[in-house]
Copies of this chain bind each other. A is one copy, B any other.
């Protein structure tokens, strides 16, 4: 009935590759070409897309702009999203300065930190706010997405506050598993975990 998560997880990868093909000036592609470029099977791409409708033409493949637009609608990224950044340390600052977020539709519109040394400073044109203002500001701005860039020790209790403040998607840069209600999604960004997934295969 509902679309498997594993399928949803691949859609952004398809979307990114379509944008790349467009940037390269191509206007049509095929499941075969996409599969080759992404290192997967063409059957899987066609199967994944078939969950959402018919986007291609027999014999010719897919119009890139058409498929891209549909994927953006499906993923709800045809719009812009306001996101909150929690943590203004080294990592938080790097995130705030990374213009890839805004370039791809995720606008960092507020930054929070608990250290008085950082509150009131300006990072990427935003004044760092006290975490005391978390709930008020998130509700006021109706923000649903949080980027969590604080030490692991504080991650769970800040997460609980984010959830209470109406956040439903958390991108967690802290190297710790978070407990959230079923209505809330968490994705993890831990580079060391990723490295450890590869060293297993070293001789």
Is A26 interfacial (CB 8 A cutoff)? no
Is the beta-carbon distance between A176 and B90 smaller than 8 angstroms?
no
A11 and B200 in contact (CB under 8 A), knowing A94-B94, A98-B91, A106-B192?
yes
Q: Which segment of A15-23, A41-49, A115-123, A132-140 sits at the interface?
A: A15-23
Protomer copies:
2
Chain A: interface residue total (CB-CB under 8 A): 58
Is A69 interfacial (CB 8 A cutoff)? no
A residues touching B (Cβ–Cβ < 8 Å)? 8-9, 11-13, 15-17, 20, 37-39, 74-77, 81, 83, 90-91, 93-95, 97-98, 100-101, 104-106, 144-145, 147, 152, 168-169, 171, 175-177, 179, 185, 187-202
